[in-house]
Each structure stands twice: as structure tokens, then as C-alpha cells.
Structure 1
């Protein structure tokens, strides 16, 4: 990248950071006006550039229509019409799938300008989401302007070239899933101001502890189960992060953060633990509050409708049955009133931190049963992502469910998309390859069952992971160490 391009990116990032400083009380009208302008621009751009939305918005006055006048978009509908959804007519689903199938492309912009990713399919069929560089910069700037305490380290200040912030990310190994994508496309112009280390939940525990002790991060983000593991290591003295005095904040993502877990983490490390609510379809949907529990909805970047089962809005303080998400900053793949089966509760009161943006008080419906294995005399959580990463390799899968049926025994139920067929042997091979890549080859007894559909539970939701066997043993042999990888 040339000097002129780097200068342009630095200016864009600095400008976005400045504009995304959290609004204070009294500035809400300005935010609402900005949201309305972006909403109308999104509708007109989608109708002009996307054949799918041209058909969808036919007969609507896009200058005056209400949000509720627009039809709801499902994941299945978006994926069935993906080529027509894109506003860049050169984008094709098959080309994107081929691009993401090659892990040598991780961190590489498709056609030099697009960052693709695929969802895990934790609530059903996986989806492909494409953003351009400007959208990636927006997501990045929103997180570091509003979601944590190290935002000032991104200002072009010469002192930070000497003493940059240090971030550790504990997820899976790099891939095209959303949380990895965010860091795969970490803006080059920000790298002098922050050092990033990526660790896998399947790295050896001793290796994780050693690297963290040496690195002494300023900020840690990871799955809740990963942060719980770090707390146990800190309590035993294997980790020395609190004593190091560098850690400023931790962030939980992708898994629920129970209050008891958050309290334990904060007591152990002496720092605030944030939790953010977002998804691949809208990575900048919210930012975890750096003062209290919950996350602030970025209403200038997205619209979140919390609705009941009939798509009627529910008031703050009342859990909805689902949400509808409209992404206001991704013009390449318009996502408008996109349905997600999350049970979200908005806070009826303003947040005490002073940020005027609405507060997402709680998110339910994504919690998974704890899956676990015994390996080398130790009990380990088994993140469902090791299955999901494999299932993305078969585009004919419509739905799935992972069941723990015994000690290190699992059954994966898969239902095909309409008109498609599935091969149990092929799916099993994909999962075994994924397990092997994570150092779990030969550990799991896996059964694949092809079914017509995955039935919902009594609450009307399909649980993508269920433990039919039971919790981990309460007593571990004295010479065995209980760890969560």
C-alpha cells in the first residue's frame, strides 16, 4: 500500500473515530436525524442497484414509507436470492464460496475491496455476508470509539508508536467466521497504535498462559468460556495479569455472559467486563458499555426492532420473541428488517454511564448447552464452533443440531435445504477434518443423522446444541486438571 493510500485510510479512520464519540444527553435529536438520512439513502441505493430490492420495494414511496411498511427479510430468503441482493453486480455467491474455501485468502480483500465472511449457522442455515473496506472501518471505529477504554490509543499520537496498546483475541483459529473476520481485516493504519495477538481456544493451556504472561495485554476479548478459563488460571497463579497491572478491560462475545460469571471475572482481574451484542450481518450493531453491564445500540449505524412473534414492537423492559435488524452502513449487501430469533430486552431507563444511546439490557435465546469432553485426564468445554466451522463446507445443509449423547459421544442431526440431499459420510468427513485441525482427532465418537427437519422446543426455538448426557463430572481425579480450552 502506497503512502497516499495509507494517509487516506488514516484520515478515514481518525474521522470515523471522532464522529463516533458516544453522544451525550441532549444530542439524541442529531443522532435520530442522521439515522433517518442514512435509512433513506439505504432504501434508495438498494432499490437502484439491487434487483432483489427493486422487486421488493415496487410501489413503495421510499421517501416517506415507514419502517414497518417494508417486508421482513429471512436468512433463507436472502441466501436464495443472494446474487440479486448484492448492489455490485459483479459479486456472485459461487465465486465468494470458492474464495472462502481457500484459507490462503484469510485477510485478503476479495477483488481488492470486499471482506466476505460466513456465519456459523448457530441458529440454522449459514449466511454469507460481504462488506467493503468502508464498512469494516466503520465497525472497527465504532468498537474502539464506544466500546472500550483504549479508544484514545488510536489517535495519531506519536507516543503510542513507542507504547502501543496490546490486545489478545481468544476465539477459534483464523477463518472466515465473523469474529475472526473483524481482526483479519484489522486496518493497517491502526497497527502502529495497537498490537494484536490471536489465540485459539484449542491452544494448549500452558501455551496460552505463557504467551499471556509475556505479552501482558491491555485488552482481552473472547468467548465467555475462554474468559472463565483465564479466571481459573489466574486464581491458581499460572496467569499473572492482575499483578502485571497492564490489563484495562475484558470483553465477552458470541456466548451469554451470566452475571455471576461477570462478577467472578471482575473480582479475579480487577477490571470491567463488557459484553456486546452483534452478528455478522451487522457487526457494529452495539458496543459493550465500558461502565455497566449491557451494550449500547448504535442507532446511527443500525436499527434494531424488538418484536413479538407477530412482528409487533414490544416496549423496553419487555423481552421480545425476535429482532429485526437493519444495517445502515453496508451498502454492498443491503440487510433491511432482517429476522433473527434472539430474545432481546431493551432497558427502559437511560444508562448511568452518560451515553445517550439506548441500552440492550439482556440477550437470551443464544445460550447453548455445555458440551464437554474428557481428554488426557482433563475435562474440557467443547465449543460448538468446531462443528459449525465444518458445516459451512456443505451448502446443502439447511438446519442442524448437535447432541451430546455420552462421554465424548455426539450425534449431529442435519436437515437439507429444500430440494437438496445430504450425505452423512460427507458431513462426517467435514467434521472429522475440523476436529483434526483443532487437535481433537480420534477423541470424539461421532454419529451423523440425516433428518427432514429440526423440531423446536416448547418455547418455539430450535436449540442448536443440547446435552443429553449430563454436566461434567463434579469430581476429577486428584492428578487431573480441569480446564476449559
Structure 2
């Protein structure tokens, strides 16, 4: 009961910021100063890093930036609980039986996707995990209202279907694995695996009657085609209210198509394992709103200088304001983001993220039974999560069933091609695709960068050789 009361208090604290931008700025500043002070006191890494800085008065740009490789190299000193050890965490996530269990009885654990090259370990306490769902209730749907009306959900729980690859320690699945038990009277979740037969997933969806669907753009578009062609009848059932795209870019055309065939609102969310509540999908238009009271997102150029709204940056610097056990402060991420230069028509004072283009990836697919079937990039990433010695990677499709992973080791460490094959094929097998893949692993000293200076994590070289269906 106490956990539910704390959740209600958190939920209530999130609503007023739809009304007053000055409150957002004040809360952001308050949380930033508290985070800096806490990190300097409890993290040996940040104590050294912040030496000589007046943390009560310095500007954000006075603080040094942090790369993923730095964080992972100094992991045991970055975290603020001295009992947390990188080697122990790595062993913890290598055992699938630990999914949903709290490390040290206190912390949820996930791997970042590795879509930036090297995977990273993320730990957060229960309050941080619960915040993911509080933000979804408060800002992620059209229901911008206080908690009391949600009490009716005890008799009629909200129903969400989640479309991902097989459950694992990747961020989106990990968050639902730690779903708060005290919320189960209010909220029912159906997890669907995108590689399961489409007909089976359709039957599950129709029986479940979801009000909300969350998933990858490629999976959402596939279900949209089934609905449009009459093989699914969610629109006829009349249950679906909102569709939320995560992890992959969704074009305006695809979003319009989904809204048309399902007669439901389509929103986008931009987040990462290092900050799962970075944004909430706009309920009135494309793009998402930065939860600026919970995180700071600096859009910068190649030299780390800020770019104005309406201009696409070369990377972003993330500061997570609510995770104190693993402080993430001015953390570099190779996403090309553009903030909106004008207020959002929905009326929210939260800054609007207009476009995220750095995550666009070539689509991968296989040919089975004479038909082409899309394979999510995350099928590969779910295995690569476990290879902490991996600095960079690239997944390349070279034939109708031929894939190659090019892997670069962290400086001073060794990579095992057999280990990479093992962990990736375990995930491929879990998805029921082991007989559809021929996989080659190549350990290389570096991966060629494109004209933008960035590494393409996915390349479909075969797609340029064959016509589209």
C-alpha cells in the first residue's frame, strides 16, 4: 500500500508541468544541483571529475562530457553504491533467469541496445523504474488528468500490448519485467514477439482487446497492413485508442497510414536505456515532448557547441536528473536530433523534439516460402548486449539469408568470434529463426565511417542487388 501511495504522489507531481514552463525550469535546476552534489559525494569518478568546480553555481557547459567508453571503463567508480561491481552485473544479466529480479535486492538492471556501438550496463532503483510508468500515465496518453479517475481502472484495467523481440535485458523489455506489482489492478500488459507467426499474434491481440499498443515501427506497419487487408479487426472491435512507436523512426506517411486504418492516435517516443523517460509522445501531432523536468538534452554540433531549435545537431548530450545510483551527466550519444523552433499546437510547454534522424537504419529481411519477411535489427542487438568487450559493430546483410557481424574490440581487450556467434544465435533461436540465418562473424580493427563521419550500424548490401516487392 505504501508503494502505491508513493506512486500516486509521484504521479500528481508530474501533472502541473503541463501548465507552467517556469515550474519545469525551476524543478530542472533543483534536480541538477542535487544530482551534481550527490555524484560528487558518492562517486569516486565524479569526485575526481568535478574537482575545482563550484557545483552550486557552475553552468552546465562548465561540466565535462562523458562517453560510453569512459563510463564503462570506470564503471565501478561511476556508480554511487560501492557494492555494485561491473563484473557481477555482467554475470547477472548473462543469466536469463534474473530478468525481473532486483540486483542486490534493490536495483533493476538493463543493457543499452548497443546501437551506438558499445553496449552499456544501466542500474536504477525502484523509484526510477516506477517513474517510467508514472510518466506514461501522466504524459504519454491523451488522459492528462489527476490520479483519482484512474481508480476506476481497478474494475476496468487499462490494456497495453507491447510488440518487441523475445524478452531480455534490453531496456524496453527490462522495464516491463520490473513492472510494479501494485499497478497490476490498474494495468494489464500483453507481450507479443514480432517473430511469432502473424496469425497467432493477431488472435492474441483480438482476444486481449488492447487500448494501447507500443512497438517498433516495422512491427506496427506490418500489423497495419494486416488490418488494412482485412486479416485483423481491431478497428471493428473498437478498443484501440493509441499506438506508440519506440526504438525505430516512423515516417509521417507510415504514421498517417496507421491512424487511418486503426482510427487511433499515433505517437512517437524518443528514449534510450540511459533515460527511459526522456520524452513522451505528443498527443496532438508528430514528434515527442522532452520531459525537461526529468532530463536535460543538449543538441550540439561536431564540436559540442549548441545548435538552435530548427537546426539538426550532430549528436546530443544527455543528463539524467533522476538516476542517482548511476549518474549520467552530459553523456554523448550519436543521435541527430532537431528541436522544434515553434510552440507545439497541443499547448504543452515541454520542448518538442521535432525529428530524430540518427537512428534510421537499413531494413533487414529474409526470404522464406517465397515471401520476404522483415527481421528487426534488435534480434542481433539482444545478443550483442552481452558482449561488453565490444567497442563498435555493424550488421550487414549480404544475401537473402546471409548476415555478417563486423566487430571491433574495446582497446586492450580481446573479442571472441565464437562468443559473439553464441549469444547472437541464442537470440535468433529464441525468435524461431535459426534455420533462416547463415551468420558470419568478423573481428576487425575498425569499421569504415560514412560521409557523415558516423558508422552505419546496419547495412543491407543485398537490397541494392534485388528489386523491391
TM-score (norm 1): 0.94
Does the alignment pair 1:21 with 2:15? yes
Alignment of 1:160-199 (within 5 A): 160-199=153-192
Q: Which runs of 4+ in 1 moved over 4 A?
A: 150-158, 471-476
Alignment of 1:34-433 (within 5 A): 34-150=27-143, 155=148, 158-433=151-426
Structure-2 residue corresponding to 1:479:
none
Deviations for 1:365-416, whole angstroms, at most 9, x for unmatched residues?
1111011101233311111111111222322221110111111111110111
- State the Cα distance separating 1:423 from its structure 2 match: 2.4
Q: Kindly tell me: are residues 134 and 24 of structure 1, through their superposed partners in 2, closer, same or farther at Cα, counting changes over 3 Å?
A: closer
SS in 2 for 1:379: strand
- State the Cα distance separating 1:157 from its structure 2 match: 5.0
Deviations for 1:331-387, whole angstroms, at most 9, x for unmatched residues?
000000000011100001111111111100000111110111012333111111111
Q: Which runs of 5+ in 2 are unaligned?
A: none
Q: Kindly tell me: are residues 100 and 154 of structure 1, through their superposed partners in 2, closer, same or farther at Cα, counting changes over 3 Å?
A: farther
Return the alpha-carbon distance in structure 1 between the equivalents of residues 195 and 468 of structure 2. Answer: 23
Return the alpha-carbon distance in structure 1 between the equivalents of residues 169 and 148 of structure 2. Answer: 29
2:217 and 2:249 in contact (8 A); partners too = yes
Q: Which runs of 5+ in 1 are unaligned?
A: 1-6, 477-485
Return the alpha-carbon distance in structure 1 between the equivalents of residues 334 and 362 of structure 2. Answer: 17
Does the alignment pair 1:441 with 2:438? no
1:137 and 1:187 in contact (8 A); partners too = yes
Q: Kindly tell me: are residues 474 and 265 of structure 1, through their superposed partners in 2, closer, same or farther at Cα, counting changes over 3 Å?
A: farther
Return the alpha-carbon distance in structure 2 between the equivalents of residues 198 and 456 of structure 1. Answer: 36
Structure-1 residue corresponding to 2:3:
9
SS in 2 for 1:393: coil
Deviations for 1:239-298, whole angstroms, at most 9, x for unmatched residues?
111111111000000000111110100111011110011111111111011111111111
Calculate the aligned-residue CA RMSD, in Å.
1.6
Return the alpha-carbon distance in structure 2 between the equivalents of residues 358 and 157 of structure 1. Answer: 27
1:323 and 1:343 in contact (8 A); partners too = yes
- Alignment coverage as a number of residue pairs: 469
- State the Cα distance separating 1:473 from its structure 2 match: 6.2
Deviations for 1:196-220, whole angstroms, at most 9, x for unmatched residues?
1001111111110100111110000
Structure-2 residue corresponding to 1:459:
452
Deviations for 1:414-461, whole angstroms, at most 9, x for unmatched residues?
111111122223322332222112111121122211100112101111
SS in 1 for 2:37: helix
1:379 and 1:472 in contact (8 A); partners too = no
1:166 and 1:194 in contact (8 A); partners too = yes
SS in 2 for 1:21: helix
1:22 and 1:146 in contact (8 A); partners too = no
Return the alpha-carbon distance in structure 1 between the equivalents of residues 245 and 464 of structure 2. Answer: 23
2:393 and 2:447 in contact (8 A); partners too = yes
Return the alpha-carbon distance in structure 2 between the equivalents of residues 401 and 36 of structure 1. Answer: 39
- State the Cα distance separating 1:149 from its structure 2 match: 2.8
Return the alpha-carbon distance in structure 1 between the equivalents of residues 150 and 454 of structure 2. Answer: 49
Return the alpha-carbon distance in structure 1 between the equivalents of residues 367 and 320 of structure 2. Answer: 42
Bigger shift: residues 177-186 or 392-401: 392-401
- State the Cα distance separating 1:17 from its structure 2 match: 1.2
SS in 2 for 1:367: coil
2:12 and 2:146 in contact (8 A); partners too = no
Bigger shift: residues 66-75 or 422-431: 422-431
SS in 1 for 2:319: strand
Return the alpha-carbon distance in structure 2 between the equivalents of residues 162 and 234 of structure 1. Answer: 29
Deviations for 1:152-183, whole angstroms, at most 9, x for unmatched residues?
69647553222111100001111110011121
Return the alpha-carbon distance in structure 1 between the equivalents of residues 16 and 344 of structure 2. Answer: 12
2:15 and 2:146 in contact (8 A); partners too = no
- State the Cα distance separating 1:105 from its structure 2 match: 1.2
SS in 2 for 1:109: coil
